[in-house]
C-alpha cells in the first residue's frame, strides 16, 4: 500500500516545486514552499480524494484505503523546522481523532 500511495501521488498531483517523501512508518510529507495554508489544505483534500477513490490491489483483491491529512504553515515564530513538523503532526492527529479520512489544520 505504501509503495502504491507513493506511486499514485507522485504521478498524479504533487506540484513540481514541492518535495514528497515518506516520513516514518505509515506517514508521508509534502513540503510546498510556495503554498499558503489554504492552498495546502486544498492539495491535501485532493490527495485524500485520490487515495480514497484509488483501487489498491493485493493478491487479486481490491482494497479501499483512506488517509488523514494534517496541514500547517511555517510562521515567523517558528525558529526551527522541527516546530513546523510538530504542528503538522498535531493537525494530522486532529484529523485521525476527528473520525479519520479528513484534512485538518493546526489552527
Q: In the chain, what is the straight-line distance between the N-terminal and C-terminal CA atoms, in Å? A: 30
| Cell numbers at 96, concatenated | 485521525
Chain centre to alpha carbon of residue 26: 11
Residue of 4, 26, 27, 59 marked active site:
26
Annotated active-site residue 52? The verdict is no
Query: Cα separation of 63 and 73, whole Å?
Result: 33
Cα–Cα nearest to 45, from 104, 90, 89, 4: 104
- Where in the sequence numbering do the catalytic residues fall? 26
Amino acid at each position: 500500500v505504501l509503495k502504491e500511495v507513493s506511486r499514485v501521488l507522485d504521478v498524479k498531483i504533487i506540484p513540481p516545486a514541492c518535495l514528497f517523501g515518506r516520513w516514518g512508518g505509515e506517514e508521508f510529507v509534502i513540503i510546498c514552499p510556495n503554498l499558503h495554508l489554504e492552498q495546502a489544505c486544498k492539495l491535501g483534500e485532493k490527495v485524500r480524494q485520490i487515495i480514497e477513490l484509488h483501487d489498491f490491489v493485493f493478491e487479486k483483491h481490491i482494497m479501499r484505503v483512506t488517509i488523514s491529512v494534517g496541514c500547517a504553515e511555517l510562521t515567523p515564530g517558528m525558529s526551527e523546522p522541527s516546530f513546523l513538523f510538530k504542528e503538522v503532526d498535531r493537525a494530522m492527529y486532529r484529523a485521525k481523532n476527528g473520525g479519520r479520512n479528513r484534512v485538518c489544520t493546526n489552527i
